[in-house]
Amino acid sequence: MTEKTEKAECIYRKYIKCLLDEKSILHVSFIGIDETFDAKRQKTKPYLPLILMMELQEFFSEMNRFLENNSKDDIKEVYLEGFADANVFAVGAVIDAIKKILETSMDKHTLYRKAMIFSEIGQNALLEIKSCPKKVTAIIDGFALGGGLELAMACHARMVKSINTVFGLPETTLGLIPGWGGTWWWRFIPKLNQEKFIEYMKTGASFNAREALSINLIDSTVDIDEMETPAIVNQSKPYSRSSVAMIKDVIGITNKIDTGTNLALSIERENFAVAMTSPDAMEGITAFLEKRKANFE
**pLDDT confidence band for 4 (50 / 70 / 90):** very low
In angstroms, the Cα distances linking 239 to 104, 151, 166, 207, 212 are: 25, 22, 19, 16, 21
73-98: string of b/e by CB count within 10 Å (b at 16+)?
Answer: eebebbbbbbbbebebbbbbbbbeeb
Radius of gyration in angstroms for the set of CA atoms belonging to the chain, rounded to a whole number: 19
Is 272 domain-assigned?
yes
| CATH of residue 25 | 3.90.226.10
Contact 218, 209 (CB under 8 A): yes
Q: What is the reported pLDDT for 7?
A: 55
| Angle between helices 95-104 and 279-289 in degrees, nearest 10 | 130
Is 135 domain-assigned?
yes
Determine the average pLDDT of the residues in 41-47.
96
Q: What is the reported pLDDT for 1?
A: 41
Q: Say which range, 15-29, 59-73, 219-233, 261-275, has the weakest mean pLDDT.
A: 219-233
Q: What is the reported pLDDT for 87?
A: 95
Is 1 domain-assigned?
no
Is 188 domain-assigned?
yes
Indicate if the pLDDT at residue 2 is higher than 50: no
Contact 244, 136 (CB under 8 A): no
Determine the average pLDDT of the residues in 7-31.
92
Global pTM reads 0.94
In angstroms, the Cα distances linking 165 to 82, 156, 161, 237, 273 are: 13, 19, 8, 19, 30
Is 261 domain-assigned?
yes
At 213, give phi and psi (nearest 5°): -70, -40
**pLDDT confidence band for 149 (50 / 70 / 90):** very high
Rounded-to-integer distance, Cα 202 and Cα 85, Å: 31
Is 167 domain-assigned?
yes
In angstroms, the Cα distances linking 287 to 53, 175, 237, 283 are: 26, 10, 11, 6
For 117, the domain range is 6-289
Ranked by mean pLDDT, which of 6-20, 38-52, 230-244 comes out on top? Answer: 38-52
Give the total number of structural domains in the chain: 1
Is 297 domain-assigned?
no
Is 296 domain-assigned?
no
> Which residues are designated catalytic?
150, 171
At 80, give phi and psi (nearest 5°): -95, 115
At 153, give phi and psi (nearest 5°): -70, -25
